[in-house]
Amino acid sequence: MSQISSSHIHIQFSMFYEPSKNNHNLPHDPFKACVIPRPIGWISTVSISAPPVPNDGNKSSPKISHNLAPYSQFNNLTFDPPYVMFSANHQPDPLYPGAGAGIQKDTVRNVESTGVFVWNLASWDLRDKVNITAEQFPLGVDEFAKAGLAKEDSKIVSVSIPGSTTNAERIPVPMVKDSPVKFECEYYTTLRLPGNPPVGAADVVIGRVVGVHIADWALTDGKLDVRKTKPIARLGYYEYTVVKETFDMIIPGTDEVILAGLEGSKRRVDEVTKGKL
């Protein structure tokens, strides 16, 4: 934006471009830098691959591996019940470059095949390890191990081992032990958005939160304290930010039910609607 001013005139110019034409004439594309800050969906999943068929006819076990990857299109959708979403662009298909079909990310395939995943809060203290897990490792590589991250088992969600007949044969989903906040999620649906070559489509994965882990040290006076958790978020280009400061604003003239909803408090919503407040 440019501006011309004097004691008599004040003229302001602003740029306009059409994303489909990519005619912004800037050295760097500004789109992602406009929608900020974006929470990071640091998603952990379990990958189960079919075992090879042995020549002797004996049954072999499936290969189980853990996956961890960050996604910068992530957010909550509602709170009662709570749902979250993350979006993963397809990867260009090396066999058919330019075809526009692309290949699903490992995370999406794992979620759709197992029905569960975990979101781990990406914090300032873990930023370098978050970045390591963003590398495009081959299928089956454990990003927890690559980043030197300790694991913690999920308490509710679990994955069924192919061929198993009892819950005792289910395995938990790994979580980032040092992350101060974790959501255990059950897969709900995938919305596929069409895209242009070479990346192609984007998968918007939605899950219902069925379990929430919060470290005791991250609380202050009964509230989750961002000054302690220091969540990082994506900006545009290669930029990130860290959240350390907050301020409150309460919408004037709003009734108690709406205020309780804005706070995200199911208890207060129930109390207000039942006339307890």
pLDDT at position 271 is 83
pLDDT at position 1 is 47
pLDDT at position 47 is 95
pLDDT at position 99 is 55
pLDDT at position 212 is 98
pLDDT at position 59 is 62
Which of these, 249, 69, 218, lies nearest to 146 by C-alpha position?
69
pLDDT at position 216 is 98
Q: What angle do CA 36, 38, 40 make, to 5 degrees?
A: 160
- What's the chain's length in residues? 277
Whether residue 16 contacts residue 52, with contact meaning beta carbons closer than 8 Å, is answered with: no
pLDDT at position 277 is 47
pLDDT at position 226 is 97
Q: Tens of pLDDT along the chain (277 residues)?
A: 455 555 566 667 788 999 988 889 999 999 999 999 999 999 999 999 866 555 565 666 788 999 999 999 999 999 999 999 999 999 877 666 655 567 899 999 999 999 999 999 999 999 999 999 999 999 889 999 999 999 999 999 999 987 666 666 799 999 999 999 999 999 999 999 998 877 789 999 999 999 999 999 999 999 999 999 999 999 999 999 999 999 999 888 878 888 888 888 888 888 888 875 4
pTM for the predicted model, two decimal places: 0.87
pLDDT at position 153 is 98
pLDDT at position 191 is 97
Which parts of the chain are beta strand (E)?
A: 3-5, 10-12, 38-39, 41-49, 63-71, 74-79, 82-89, 116-120, 151-160, 170-176, 181-193, 202-214, 219-220, 223-224, 232-234, 240-242
